[in-house]
Copies of this chain bind each other. A is one copy, B any other.
Amino acid sequence: MTTDFTATRDAFVLPEGMIYLDGNSLGPLPKAAAARVAQTVTAEWGQMLITGWNKAGWMDQPARVGDRIARLIGAEAGTVVMGDTLSIKVYQALASALAMTPTRKVILSDSGNFPSDLYMAEGLCRTLGADYALRVVEPEAVLDAIDETVAVTLITEIDYRTGRRHDMAAITARAHDQGALTIWDLAHSAGALPVHLAKVGADFAVGCTYKYLNSGPGGPAFIYVAPRHAETARPALSGWLGHESPFAFDLDYRPGRGIERMRVGTPPVLQLAALEAALDVWDSVDLADLRAASLTLTDQFIKGVEAACPDLALATPREHDRRGSQVSFRHPQGYAIMQALIARGVIGDFRAPDILRFGFTPLFIGESDVAKAVDVLAEVMAKRLWDRLEYQTRAKVT
């Protein structure tokens, strides 16, 4: 298929005059999502009430939606289920993996990982006891750090600050070679570029849906378990909807079939409705086309900014296969610069200590947007427009 990016752009609500380079933080509203959520609220919840669990298909939704995510991350059918938040899914995958490698006590991660992954791993280690440890190395040192002491690697493929991409195939192969399992965090990968979980032989993967997949604020997370582990992985977060027979109300837990056991509690039906509508956009998207378009846009942005803004230092690797779908620059005044950009309708975000982060999502961003964004950034830098008190004052959340 050839992807029609004019059509995908038309599928989103984009406020007039805004160039939204922050779809890697919160994707924009798909037009169909508003109607779908309204239908779920009024026609399903309002009219079906409790019977909606069957009649409206709410109960099967986490697996049904999971299958649609599976296609986007190169996973086999029936290996992905939705629910909870990414942090919870990290914990769940980690606990399962550690239980599968009982003679090893080390979780290996890197300092480029999203902090919540590290925090959840810390929390799990503390719960498991003093034998367990989280080992955090520099991103460049991950491959060599995988040795026979490592139980599981917990790596985010795309760095949330710099956009640096790990070599998923090489790390997975090395981990397996050393007898370790792998958990891939796809927060900045799913919907950003082709992912090949099955092909690389990943063991577990987790991700969120409110970034490139556009499910809306607080949309549910997903978890992937490789088919070879699906019937043996034991969920530490063993909730009733992961039970073999939830409505038998047995006192003892028996894990459900395959990926179903990774469900925990009652699924967030309204958020899942928004996600289902958001995924409709993806039905007409070829991920190879998406990647090609993303690289065109990011190359254009890098070239334009480097030519016009000598004070900004590229933080993202230049090579195509070493980066995701975002471009980041460093500047000591990064926070104020981003505020000045936002005031002028170019929305990116700032990540401490000095990163200006811009996400490029070809579903709704085109070359003319990139050109305009470069112009605005060039003006902000050339005229030092960021140097105002109003832009220097930090809000609680950026």
Contact surface of A with B, Cβ cutoff 8 Å: 13, 15, 18, 20, 22, 25-26, 28-29, 33-34, 37-38, 41-42, 44-47, 49-54, 58-59, 84-88, 91, 95, 99, 111, 114-116, 118-120, 122-124, 126-129, 136, 161, 208, 210, 216-221, 234-241, 243, 247-253, 264-272, 274, 342, 347, 349, 351-352, 395-398
Q: Given B22, B217, B270, which contacts A37 in the complex, CB threshold below 8 Å?
A: B270
CA A78 to CA B395, docked complex, whole Å: 22
Q: Given B28, B136, B269, which contacts A217 in the complex, CB threshold below 8 Å?
A: B269
Q: Smallest CB–CB gap between A14 and chain B, Å?
A: 9
Contacts of A264 in B (CB 8 A): 85, 87-88
Cβ–Cβ contact A251 & B136, under 8 A: yes
CA A85 to CA B239, docked complex, whole Å: 10
Contacts of A28 in B (CB 8 A): 46, 49
Cβ–Cβ contact B397 & A116, under 8 A: no
Cβ–Cβ contact A34 & B38, under 8 A: yes
Q: Smallest CB–CB gap between A155 and chain B, Å?
A: 15
Contacts of A99 in B (CB 8 A): 126-127
Cβ–Cβ contact A253 & B88, under 8 A: no
Cβ–Cβ contact A266 & B84, under 8 A: no
Cβ–Cβ contact A52 & B84, under 8 A: no
**Identical chains in the assembly:** 2
Q: Smallest CB–CB gap between A257 and chain B, Å?
A: 13
Contacts of A272 in B (CB 8 A): 218
CA A377 to CA B86, docked complex, whole Å: 46
Contacts of A267 in B (CB 8 A): 217-218
Tell whether A217 pairs with B34 under 8 Å between CB atoms, given A115-B250, A124-B236: no
Cβ–Cβ contact A29 & B13, under 8 A: no
Specify the chain B residue showing the minimal Cβ separation from A42. B34
Known: A29-B49, A268-B270. 9 other contacts (CB 8 A): A13-B46, A15-B46, A25-B50, A26-B50, A50-B347, A84-B265, A119-B239, A119-B253, A136-B251
Specify the chain B residue showing the minimal Cβ separation from A221. B265
Tell whether A88 pairs with B95 under 8 Å between CB atoms, given A115-B250, A119-B238: no
Specify the chain B residue showing the minimal Cβ separation from A36. B41
CA A240 to CA B397, docked complex, whole Å: 13
Cβ–Cβ contact B37 & A216, under 8 A: no
Q: Given B136, B217, B239, which contacts A270 in the complex, CB threshold below 8 Å?
A: B217
Q: Smallest CB–CB gap between A87 and chain B, Å?
A: 4
Return 26 A-B CB contacts under 8 Å, by A number. Answer: A13-B46, A13-B47, A15-B47, A28-B49, A29-B42, A38-B38, A45-B217, A50-B347, A50-B349, A52-B217, A54-B396, A84-B84, A84-B88, A87-B264, A88-B237, A115-B249, A115-B253, A118-B253, A120-B238, A123-B235, A123-B237, A136-B251, A161-B249, A216-B270, A219-B268, A220-B268
Contacts of A249 in B (CB 8 A): 115, 161, 351-352
Q: Smallest CB–CB gap between A130 and chain B, Å?
A: 11
CA A234 to CA B127, docked complex, whole Å: 10
CA A15 to CA B47, docked complex, whole Å: 6
Cβ–Cβ contact A46 & B29, under 8 A: yes
Cβ–Cβ contact A129 & B126, under 8 A: no
Cβ–Cβ contact B88 & A88, under 8 A: yes
Specify the chain B residue showing the minimal Cβ separation from A265. B85
Contacts of A52 in B (CB 8 A): 26, 217
CA A291 to CA B250, docked complex, whole Å: 31
Contacts of A236 in B (CB 8 A): 123-124, 126-127
Q: Which of A124, A129, A264 has the most CB of B within 10 A?
A: A264
